Amino acid sequence: MTRRAIWSWLVVLAGVLYFFVPLLGTFEFSLRYRRGVYSFEAYRIVLGDPRFHETFLYSTLLALATIAVGILLIVPTAYWIQLRLPRLRPAVEFITLLPLVIPAIVLVFGYLRIYNSSSLLPMTASDRSTDVLLMFSYVTLAMPYMYRAVDAGLRAIDVRTLTEAAQSLGASWGTILFRVILPNVQVAVLSGAFLTFAIVIGEFTMASLLDRPAFGPYLQLIGANRAYEPSALAIITLAITWSCMALIQILGRRSAGQTVGAH
């Protein structure tokens, strides 16, 4: 092995240690609930906690609603930008990046100021309307990821020609969008959807400040009051996020195979 190769391996090893040692430490700690033996007791307690089920279900439903609204908002926008308004692309890209630049806490205070119970649109007046507000705030938060994923998918297909081909066959805009464009950017949309899911499941700031029973605040609550359960929760959350990432990879590879076959 050459000296250069040794250095390469050392860099890789340092990276692996940097990422995996804390994870292994957390995992190992989560197994120490019982004195002297390793067990999954902390996981049993967490998974048996009704608040875990309630908050996880709440965040999952909110994530699904966020994904649905995000798709309905972003797919037609990105499609129209690509098809008819390519000159607006830089402006739209800038706008979609804003949620990454503006901290969530700033956004949520903005919402509270605009939509408080004494405003013209009192979204925080009831639990249901606050849920809707939280869902829209998640759409904003996930927008950079969803927009990029969808935009990349649209760039990979010949949007203009497919649209024109469908138009010449008598298709309306709705048919074109839902039967021609959307199925062909399905993998990109799914990637955006999984990223959105991962963001929403772990989000704390907005849910906490809007006082909604989401999974993020529950994680914080457990973390502040228990010893081993937070580690178990961290591992569970990571497993969920990684599963989402793995699904993106699997679907991405399938799509790449199809594209290669097409040429």
Partner 1 sequence: MGLLEIRGLQKKFATSTAVEHFELDVERGEFVSFLGPSGCGKTTTLRMIAGFEIPSAGTIRIDGADITRRPPNQRNVGMVFQSYALFPNMTVADNVGFGLKVARKPSAELGTRVREMLELIKLPMMGARYPYQLSGGQQQRVALARALAIQPKVLLLDEPLSALDAKIRVSLRNEIRAIQRKLGITTIYVTHDQEEALSLSDRIVVMRDGRIEQIGTPFEIYNFPRTGFVASFVGTLSILRGQVIDPERGAIAIDGQEIRASRGLADARVGEMRAVALRPEIVSLHTSAHNGNRMQGTVEDVNFLGSIVRIRVRFGENAVSLDTFNNPSATLPEPGQAVTVSFPGEGVLVLEGSATA
Q: Does 258 bind partner 1 (CB under 8 A)?
A: yes
Q: Does 169 bind partner 1 (CB under 8 A)?
A: yes
Which residue's CB is nearer to partner 1, number 100 or number 256?
256
How far apart are alpha carbons 32 and 238 in whole angstroms? Answer: 19
How far apart are alpha carbons 108 and 143 in whole angstroms? Answer: 16
Interface positions, 123-162, toward partner 1 (CB under 8 A): 157-158, 161-162
Nearest approach, Cβ of residue 147 and partner 1 (Å): 22
Give the number of other CB atoms < 10 A from CB of residue 259. Answer: 12
How far apart are alpha carbons 16 and 23 in whole angstroms? Answer: 11
Tell me the CA distances in angstroms from 147 to 49, 201, 255, one per residue in order.
36, 19, 19
What are the structure tokens assigned to 208, written together? Answer: 């906490």
Nearest approach, Cβ of residue 155 and partner 1 (Å): 15
Question: Is the Cβ–Cβ distance between 115 and 124 less than 8 Å?
Answer: yes
How far apart are alpha carbons 148 and 126 in whole angstroms? Answer: 34
Nearest approach, Cβ of residue 152 and partner 1 (Å): 16
Q: Does 82 bind partner 1 (CB under 8 A)?
A: no
Task: Using the structure block, give the residue that is written with the tokens 């178990």.
Answer: 232
Interface positions, 181-220, toward partner 1 (CB under 8 A): 183-184, 186
Question: Is the Cβ–Cβ distance between 228 and 98 less than 8 Å?
Answer: no
The residue within the footprint of partner 1, chosen from 135, 141, 180, 235 (CB under 8 A), is 180
Which residue's CB is nearer to partner 1, number 139 or number 149?
149
Which residue's CB is nearer to partner 1, number 121 or number 165?
165
Which residue's CB is nearer to partner 1, number 196 or number 255?
255
The residue within the footprint of partner 1, chosen from 167, 208, 237, 241 (CB under 8 A), is 167
Which residue's CB is nearer to partner 1, number 9 or number 178?
178
The residue within the footprint of partner 1, chosen from 26, 60, 129, 175 (CB under 8 A), is 175
Question: Is the Cβ–Cβ distance between 230 and 27 less than 8 Å?
Answer: no
Which residue's CB is nearer to partner 1, number 166 or number 206?
166
3-state helix, strand, coil in the chain (%, to 5): 85, 0, 15
Which residue's CB is nearer to partner 1, number 34 or number 179?
179
Task: Using the structure block, give the residue that is written with the tokens 């990029």.
Answer: 148
Contact footprint for partner 1 (CB under 8 A): 157-158, 161-162, 164-172, 175, 180, 183-184, 186, 258-259, 261-262
